[in-house]
Structure 1
């Protein structure tokens, strides 16, 4: 018959052959080394006490024989497997395992907390000791004779047929289209050399001021590092709107009907083709009124429309449709002179 007992560590019920009694083995469940109980040795220890009791009441009593061969059994071979009868974990064991799993959550939360603190500290030091995009800049107003900005549209990457592009360009060469307001005047026209151009002039109540960015090295460094990233949304919008413009206008030429909305294309094509990445993300504010950036000469100058006679205004990041303000700076511009174009 087999010897059955419980592991004192994991409480699993184990069964081993009689020959393993009194030997040392490993629990197959938890791997703990343990001594296999010897029920025969316990019987031998109990035998003398039983004999003394029987001798007091009887004159002759047969002595109990120890199990034959109990001390001659060989130890089980190394690596001998021990049969295990699984049983549900006790309540204490289950509680211990649950507590151990819960204890693993603490270090993970601690690591996340430390990482967050490191990011916060890095942001704080960058904000406190990093380059500050603020201060004063100098502006120069353009004379009425020079206050005209033009840009030829690039159509090579639109993916439209040459016939469509040529038909639209010829239409604007024959009949230029103008969008006029108190803020600005935008004209779409076809030049003699071909293509499509836009021309911007200030409105009846505004003027153009060129802001010199070269007076702030931190701002120039910011443009150097982030210029490509700033320009990506402007370029993407310009290309998609330019394709839509040619498609809509060609349909208008072929089918008639309402004229495409030139006010929308004034902003998404006209202005976007005149400015760069930084200008796309900036605006001027005069007495809490917002005015657009209308040109970037890529020579350290940004051009803004402002009310006539403005002597001081602010330039700062404009809020995008998603609510984000990409440019983090804010400058005060002093208009002190008239710009002498090169």
Structure 2
């Protein structure tokens, strides 16, 4: 039994074999691809008899051809009333419905797809926006957590003792640390052994002398300074911080020494050959001498008094930090040293109370320092002397 239905677009009455129900084909009249219902949707009374030859579809895609149905006779009496023409699908034009495919008209399909896409995109956008907000909140929380970690300062009160002079052991930079040809290093160290270089300021006297093993650096108080030893032992916050960061601080200090040591010998050779003035090597008091005389923590903590910033001058094996400051102080501050990039490695801000003196220290396993004259400076060459007050100043303070 044939299935009869009307095209949803041109309203033509279409007749197909009953085994084509649920398939798809093109309307013979308007050529629109439409779905075939499984049962007739046109009442028999509505189907007129017509003398017109029915539309026949041309061959198209689909399963293998089946025998075409005979066409309706053309000599039937004319219908009493005018009605749409009944047309048949070419069996070759019919296709079976695919899995999950619903027979819907073209307009309805387009609208449904657009609606689904809008809903899907709307849902995706909601997820994307929500995800971005969530990630932003996590990043913000992480940033604030990291900022708190960086800005959480080591603070509190510390005790310091003072002494006018101290006999502190020198330190030695091994000759293998210099990144220069060994012959050049040996020649320059020999010259420094005969003519040690003073790097003095008002607060300290530093001497760089060559030895067979390397460059020896010794320290003594200047004429306008006294030693202040800050005791950090027993401070739980400092000990916890050092347990987490001391290796990084020491690694940075070692890197700074290696770089400054080689630069010093290069610059010293230029001074000897008259290519640079003697004052050009005073910068190595901080970058090389003081860096070599302290440990990782001392390298990053500076004392504050009045307008001055004072680098740590010495660090002993028990962790005591020595600063050369004006005599007679009763208190000063200890803060993290700010680098040229504006960053501070150690977030510290201590108030230091000066109480009592410094016990004499001279361990059997430490060498005595090389002698450094308080009244005169050893010549660099031909009586030339180097002296510079290199204490840093705090901008804006008076």
TM over 0.5: yes
Match of 1:104 in 2: 127
Deviations 1:254-298 (A, max 9, x none): x44334522111111111101111111111111342211111213
Structure 2, gaps ≥5 residues long: 9-15, 25-33, 50-76, 362-398
Question: RMSD of aligned C-alpha atoms?
Answer: 4.3
Residues 128-277 of structure 1: pairs in structure 2 closer than 5 A? 133-144=154-165, 146-148=166-168, 150-191=170-211, 194-253=213-272, 255-259=273-277, 261-277=280-296
Match of 1:282 in 2: 301
Distance 1:20 1:154 in 2: 99
Q: CA deviation at 1:120?
A: 6.3
- Matched length: 302
Residues 5, 337 of structure 1: alpha-carbon distance in 2 compared, 3 angstrom cutoff? farther
CA contact (8 A) 1:143 1:338 kept: no
Residues 61-100 of structure 1: pairs in structure 2 closer than 5 A? 76=96, 93=115, 96=119, 99-100=122-123
- Runs of 4+ deviating beyond 6 Å: 3-6, 17-20, 62-71, 77-82, 124-128
Distance 1:323 1:333 in 2: 24
Structure 1, gaps ≥5 residues long: 7-16, 26-34, 53-59
Distance 1:333 1:68 in 2: 104
Q: Does the residue aligned with 2:247 lie in a helix, a strand or coil? A: helix
Residues 309, 119 of structure 1: alpha-carbon distance in 2 compared, 3 angstrom cutoff? same
Q: Does the residue aligned with 2:174 lie in a helix, a strand or coil? A: coil
CA contact (8 A) 1:175 1:189 kept: yes
Q: CA deviation at 1:221?
A: 1.9
Q: Which has the higher helix share?
A: 1
Q: Does the residue aligned with 1:153 lie in a helix, a strand or coil? A: strand
Deviations 1:122-176 (A, max 9, x none): 5699799x9x7222211112342x2545211123133322211111111111111
Q: Does the residue aligned with 1:180 lie in a helix, a strand or coil? A: coil
Match of 1:336 in 2: 355
Residues 183, 67 of structure 1: alpha-carbon distance in 2 compared, 3 angstrom cutoff? same
Match of 1:9 in 2: none
CA contact (8 A) 2:203 2:222 kept: yes
Distance 1:289 1:300 in 2: 23
Residues 4, 293 of structure 1: alpha-carbon distance in 2 compared, 3 angstrom cutoff? farther
**TM-score (ref. length: structure 1):** 0.72
Deviations 1:40-69 (A, max 9, x none): 934x42x413559xxxxxxx7679998899
Q: Does the residue aligned with 2:180 lie in a helix, a strand or coil? A: coil
Distance 1:142 1:331 in 2: 21
Task: Answer with 149-158 or 326-335: which moved more.
Answer: 149-158
Which protein shows a greater Rg? Answer: 2
